[in-house]
């Protein structure tokens, strides 16, 4: 027993509990058969809760059961079926809407999250979604207004009954149309974006217009953020249009130089090069205020990228609202008048002072604060003196009665202190003797370890020398043999040379 709901976001197939909820299932099936739900709006979509529909008027206050068409207005609603009890456990649970008196008409809803237990017992569950959970997810993500109405319409286009186990009541055949009816003008006028309407704001705009639109939206968003954090007095506040912002200045360029250069465009009311508060050095940007907006505009077009003191400057309209005064929340802002000078409540501290504070009050305010502090201090001192005098009187009256007890207590405390000192001294001596004994034990153990190590070292050296001697013996034998061979060879050479000399002598004698 299933019904297909063809919606503007996709098809949803629902299975009905015809055995557990026969009355609700019959009412739903017969309404679908008469095409009652065609073009009904999802008039309430609460994220992760429910998506409600079934009211042809789209207001959420209409709708009637199929029995009203058969038996009249007295049968507009029918009683809720409470047994057996079925809970809203699944996402996609199908329930009839309770009109407040445990009565049902034509409105129903689909749950958009599991385990919505606080709906149990209030609304009658009579089915569940078999296919189309992805469509429910799309409905759940739709944007809605403060009354939970979707900004873009979501409608039921058509209903298809796959199986109907209930017989048609008498007279229902006259209510079934031959074809699906066309929607009325009242049904399509929801006051929101229609299903077939194009919501593309960029349609028909050039690339420049689209870029300008995006930049405008970003500027508004940034202004709103600055208002939230307190950097702007109001989101709609705008800077004065007769002030130029000049940057990329040479540090040697002064306000007088800029005033002389820019004065050819018109009268200049104020020219200020911003400087560091501590060092007094130029921060290389300035503000120039003209008397008229037209003069400021001419300077903007002609002075950008001009060379001043070997620097190419950049000129733009000022975006600063530092001089704007905020009247209060919802009261707007005011700009300072021409002759009005801002009251200086603070001044930079003198270089000779070495406080931890960078700013101090003006002298008048400082004098008044010092006088207030002085009076407050004198009053506190007088109150303190009075309290001390009263306490002294009370203590002096009780002193005679407590003098004897205080002397005995002092003597007892002195004796206790002496005993404690002697006990501590003995404890310290014991601890000192104990540490001395431990040190002597450590010294003896250290000496024994050093003797053992020396003896082991001597034994290891003796064994090493014997091993070296045994290892070097073959080498010494070879060296002796080599020396013997060399000695015999030298003896042979000497004999041979001696024989040769004797032979020469004999030959010489023979010649003579």
- Summarize pLDDT for 175-231 with one digit per residue, the tens: 888 888 888 887 778 778 887 776 666 777 788 888 888 888 888 888 888 878 877
**Residue 252 to residues 229, 244, 299, 345, 489, Cα–Cα distance (Å):** 36, 20, 22, 30, 101
Q: Compute the mean pLDDT over every residue in the chain, rounded to the nearest whole number.
A: 80
Identify the weakest region by mean pLDDT among 98-112, 191-205, 243-257.
Answer: 191-205
Beta-carbon contacts of 441 under 8 Å, excluding residues fewer than 6 positions away, are: none
Whether 280 shows a pLDDT value over 50: the answer reads yes
Hey, what CATH topology would domain 2-188 get? Cyclophilin (2.40.100)
Q: Enumerate the domain spans of the chain.
A: 2-188, 243-320
Q: How confident is the model at residue 358 (pLDDT cuts 50, 70, 90)?
A: very low
Q: How many C-beta atoms lie closer than 10 Å to residue 448's C-beta? A: 10
| Strand-strand pairing, 307-308 and 311-312 | antiparallel
pLDDT tens for 72-86 read 888 888 988 888 899
pLDDT at 95 over 90: yes
Helix axes 255-262, 293-303, angle to 10 degrees: 100
Q: What is the pLDDT of residues 34-50, one digit of tens each?
A: 999 999 999 999 999 99
Kindly state which CATH superfamily the domain 243-320 is placed in. Answer: RRM (RNA recognition motif) domain (3.30.70.330)
How many angstroms separate the Cα of 375 from the Cα of each of 380, 381, 440? 9, 10, 72
Q: Given this model, what pLDDT does residue 509 score?
A: 62
User: 95 near 111, Cβ under 8 Å?
Assistant: yes
Statement: the pTM of the whole predicted model exceeds 0.75? no
Output 461 or 18, whichever has higher pLDDT: 18
Q: Which residues contact 164 (CB under 8 A, 6 or more apart)?
A: 1, 29, 33
Q: How many CB atoms lie within 10 A of CB 365?
A: 12
* CA–CA separation, 191 and 180 (whole Å): 24
Residue 294, pLDDT above cutoff 50: yes
Tell me what pLDDT residue 347 has: 46
């Amino acid at each position: 027993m299933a019904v297909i709901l063809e919606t503007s976001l996709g098809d949803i197939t629902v299975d009905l509990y015809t055995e557990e909820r026969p009355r609700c299932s019959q009412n739903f099936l017969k309404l679908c058969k008469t095409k009652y739900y065609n073009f009904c709006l999802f008039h309430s979509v609460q994220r992760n809760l429910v998506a409600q529909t079934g009211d042809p008027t789209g207001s959420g206050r209409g709708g009637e059961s199929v029995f009203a068409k058969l038996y009249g207005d007295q049968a507009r609603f029918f009683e809720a079926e409470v047994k057996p009890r079925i809970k809203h456990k699944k996402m996609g649970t199908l329930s009839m809407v309770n009109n407040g008196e445990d009565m049902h008409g034509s409105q129903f809803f689909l749950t958009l999250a599991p385990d919505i237990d606080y709906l149990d017992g209030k609304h009658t569950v009579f089915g569940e979604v078999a296919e189309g959970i992805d469509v429910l997810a799309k409905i759940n993500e739709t944007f809605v207004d403060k009354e939970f109405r979707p900004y873009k319409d979501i409608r039921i286009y058509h209903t298809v009954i796959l199986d109907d186990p209930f017989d048609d009541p008498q007279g229902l055949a006259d209510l079934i149309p031959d074809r699906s009816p066309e929607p009325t003008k009242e049904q399509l006028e929801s006051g929101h974006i229609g299903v077939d309407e194009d919501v593309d704001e960029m349609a028909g705009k050039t690339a420049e217009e689209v870029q300008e639109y995006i930049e405008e939206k970003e500027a508004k968003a940034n202004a709103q953020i600055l208002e939230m954090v307190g950097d702007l007095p109001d989101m709609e506040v705008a800077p004065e249009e007769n002030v130029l912002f000049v940057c990329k200045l040479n540090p040697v360029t002064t306000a007088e130089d800029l005033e002389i250069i820019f004065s050819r465009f018109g009268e200049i009311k104020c020219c200020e090069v911003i400087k560091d508060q501590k060092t007094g050095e130029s921060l290389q940007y300035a503000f120039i205020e003209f008397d008229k907006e037209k003069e400021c505009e001419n300077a903007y077009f002609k002075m950008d990228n001009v060379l001043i003191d070997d620097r190419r400057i950049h000129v733009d309209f000022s975006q600063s609202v530092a001089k704007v005064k905020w009247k209060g929340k919802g009261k707007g802002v005011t700009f300072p008048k021409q002759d009005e000078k801002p009251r200086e409540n603070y001044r930079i501290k003198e270089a000779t002072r070495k406080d931890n504070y960078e700013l101090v009050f003006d002298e008048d305010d400082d004098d008044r604060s010092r006088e207030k502090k002085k009076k407050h201090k004198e009053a506190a001192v007088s109150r303190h003196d009075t309290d001390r005098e009263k306490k002294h009187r009370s203590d002096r009256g009780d002193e005679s009665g407590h003098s004897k007890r205080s002397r005995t207590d002092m003597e007892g405390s002195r004796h206790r202190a002496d005993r404690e000192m002697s006990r501590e001294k003995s404890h310290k001596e014991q601890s000192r003797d104990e540490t001395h004994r431990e040190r002597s034990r450590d010294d003896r153990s250290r000496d024994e370890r050093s003797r053992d190590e020396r003896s082991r070292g001597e034994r290891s050296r003796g064994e090493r020398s014997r091993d070296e001697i045994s290892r070097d013996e073959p080498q010494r034998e070879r060296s002796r043999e080599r020396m013997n061979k060399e000695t015999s060879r030298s003896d042979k050479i000497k004999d041979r040379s001696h024989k040769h000399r004797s032979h020469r002598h004999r030959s010489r004698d023979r010649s003579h």
